[in-house]
Amino acid sequence: MHNVVISGTGLFTPPHSISNEELVTAFNAYVDLFNDENTEAIAAGDVEPLEKSNAAFIEKASGVKSRFVMNKEGILDPTRMCPNIPARADDELSVLAEIAVAAAKDALANAGRTGADIDGILCGASNMQRAYPAIAVEVQLALGATGFGFDMNVACSSATFAIQAGADMIRAGSARRILIVNPEICSGHLNFRDRDSHFIFGDVATAILLENAEDADKDERWDILGTKLITQFSNNIRNNFGFLNRTAPEDTNVADKLFVQQGRKVFKEVIPMVSELIQTHMGELGLDPQDAKRIWLHQANINMNEMIARKVLGRSIDAESTPTILDEYANTSSAGSVIAFHKHSRDLPPGSLGLMCSFGAGYSAGSVILRKH
Ligand code: CO8
Q: In this predicted model, what pLDDT tens digit does every residue of 324-337 receive, in sequence order?
A: 999 999 999 999 99
Average pLDDT taken over every residue of the chain: 96
Q: Whose CA is nearest to atom 21 of ligand 1?
A: 57
Q: What are the residues facing 180 on neighbouring strands?
A: 122, 208
Q: Whose CA is nearest to atom 23 of ligand 1?
A: 196
CATH of the domain at 344: 3.40.47.10
Is residue 354 within a helix (H) or strand (E), and if so which, with residue range? strand 353-360
Cα distance between residue 106 and residue 54, in whole Å: 37
Q: Using the mean position of ligand 1's atoms as its centre, give its distance from the Cα of residue 262 in Å.
A: 7
Q: Whose CA is nearest to atom 36 of ligand 1?
A: 263
Task: State pLDDT tens for residues 81-140.
Answer: 999 999 999 999 999 999 999 999 999 999 999 999 999 999 999 999 999 999 999 999
Contact 298, 336 (CB under 8 A): yes
104 found inside a domain: no
Q: Is 17 helix (H, G, I), strand (E, B) or coil?
A: strand
205 found inside a domain: no
What's residue 218's pLDDT?
83
Task: State pLDDT tens for residues 253-271.
Answer: 889 999 999 999 999 999 9
Q: Whose CA is nearest to atom 46 of ligand 1?
A: 360
Task: State pLDDT tens for residues 285-311.
Answer: 999 999 999 999 999 999 999 999 999
Confidence of residue 59 (pLDDT cuts 50, 70, 90): very high
Q: Which residues contact 301 (CB under 8 A, 6 or more apart)?
A: 61, 62, 63, 267, 326, 331
Atom number, ligand 1, closest to the C-alpha of residue 298: 44
134 found inside a domain: no
Q: Using the mean position of ligand 1's atoms as its centre, give its distance from the Cα of residue 236 in Å.
A: 12
The set of protein residues with a Cβ atom below 6 angstroms from ligand 1 is 53-54, 57-58, 61-62, 126, 155-156, 186, 189-190, 195-196, 199, 201, 237, 259, 261, 263-264, 266-267, 300-301, 304, 331, 333, 360-361
278 found inside a domain: yes
Confidence of residue 181 (pLDDT cuts 50, 70, 90): very high
Q: Using the mean position of ligand 1's atoms as its centre, give its distance from the Cα of residue 54 in Å.
A: 12
Q: What are the residues facing 177 on neighbouring strands?
A: 211
What's residue 249's pLDDT?
87
Atom number, ligand 1, closest to the C-alpha of residue 331: 48
What's residue 363's pLDDT?
97
Contact 219, 365 (CB under 8 A): no
Mutate to test the pocket of ligand 1, among 261, 299, 327 (most ligand atoms within 8 A of CB): 261
Q: Whose CA is nearest to atom 1 of ligand 1?
A: 53
Task: Report the amino acid identity of residue 200.
Answer: I
Contact 299, 336 (CB under 8 A): yes
Q: What are phi and psi for residue 316, nearest 5 degrees?
A: -75, 155
Q: Whose CA is nearest to atom 42 of ligand 1?
A: 263
What's residue 217's pLDDT?
85
Q: What are phi and psi for residue 258, nearest 5 degrees?
A: -125, 180
What's residue 250's pLDDT?
87
Positive or negative: CA dihedral 347, 296, 10, 204: negative
Contact 63, 302 (CB under 8 A): yes
Confidence of residue 212 (pLDDT cuts 50, 70, 90): very high
Q: Using the mean position of ligand 1's atoms as its centre, give its distance from the Cα of residue 263 in Å.
A: 5
Nearest to 203 by CA among 46, 47, 74, 369: 74
Q: Percent helix, strand, coil in the chain (nearest 5)?
A: 40, 25, 40
Confidence of residue 3 (pLDDT cuts 50, 70, 90): very high
123 found inside a domain: no
Examine the pLDDT at 62 and tell me if it is beyond 90.
yes
Hey, which residues are catalytic here?
Answer: 156
Task: State pLDDT tens for residues 218-240.
Answer: 888 999 999 999 999 999 999 99
What's residue 253's pLDDT?
82
210 found inside a domain: no
Mutate to test the pocket of ligand 1, among 196, 201, 302, 308 (most ligand atoms within 8 A of CB): 196
Q: Using the mean position of ligand 1's atoms as its centre, give its distance from the Cα of residue 312 in Å.
A: 24
What's residue 219's pLDDT?
85
Cα distance between residue 360 and residue 270, in whole Å: 8
Q: Is 208 helix (H, G, I), strand (E, B) or coil?
A: strand
Q: Using the mean position of ligand 1's atoms as its centre, give its distance from the Cα of residue 190 in Å.
A: 13
Q: Whose CA is nearest to atom 38 of ligand 1?
A: 263
Cα distance between residue 243 and residue 135, in whole Å: 17
Examine the pLDDT at 173 and tell me if it is beyond 90.
yes
What's the predicted TM-score (pTM) here?
0.96
Q: Using the mean position of ligand 1's atoms as its centre, give its distance from the Cα of residue 260 in Å.
A: 10
337 found inside a domain: yes
317 found inside a domain: yes
Contact 232, 363 (CB under 8 A): yes
Residue 359: domain span? 222-372
Atom number, ligand 1, closest to the C-alpha of residue 190: 57
What's residue 252's pLDDT?
83
Atom number, ligand 1, closest to the C-alpha of residue 263: 37
Examine the pLDDT at 180 and tell me if it is beyond 90.
yes
Total tally of structural domains belonging to the chain: 1
Helices (H), the chain: 20-37, 39-43, 55-62, 73-76, 95-111, 135-143, 158-172, 263-284, 302-313, 326-329, 336-343
